[in-house]
Structure 1
């Protein structure tokens, strides 16, 4: 702002403060760069964790599918064994139980 004596004190004050303002701006820029670098590192870590989580999910799905497949195979084997037992009973002339028959059936209550 111009003074009555013709000297501009605002400009001279700004020129005096300019080196410290530049240092302050440089410090702020460095701080922002450091913050950005930290954020980039955090984002990279998050990306790795997301990939790891997805891999774990896929592995869990695969393991679950394998367990289901094994259970299905066991059930199929048990059904085959029951069918063989029923065929054996028929060949021996014994009564073969049907679905829902439990009372009075010689085969199921162990009476011969």
Structure 2
């Protein structure tokens, strides 16, 4: 797979060579789906390997939890598009509200935010 990988046909032509060069710069194992039993020296190497695979598949991985303090360190990773709804850990209002002078009266300061939620269930 490593020698004949090519960018998705929908990749813009001006980025195709750069995307393909980046993907082919990964160790060949990074291009294969992660398998049970893979062992890594540290979480950074694990994250790098997972991001390499995700990059070649057209998505990204985020770390959702983990701990080094347990007897067996463990970390959880998910697709960047995981979940059914956007997390609102700061309990912000749904929309920006303004008074009659146009001044923002809510804790939310931006109306247009990026929402990546697409209910992807890919996790490790």
Q: Taking structure 1 as the reference length, what is the TM-score of the superposition?
A: 0.18
Higher RCO (CA < 8 A, seq sep 6+): 2
Question: Which is richer in helix?
Answer: 1
Question: Which is richer in strand?
Answer: 2
**Structure whose alpha-carbon radius of gyration is higher:** 1
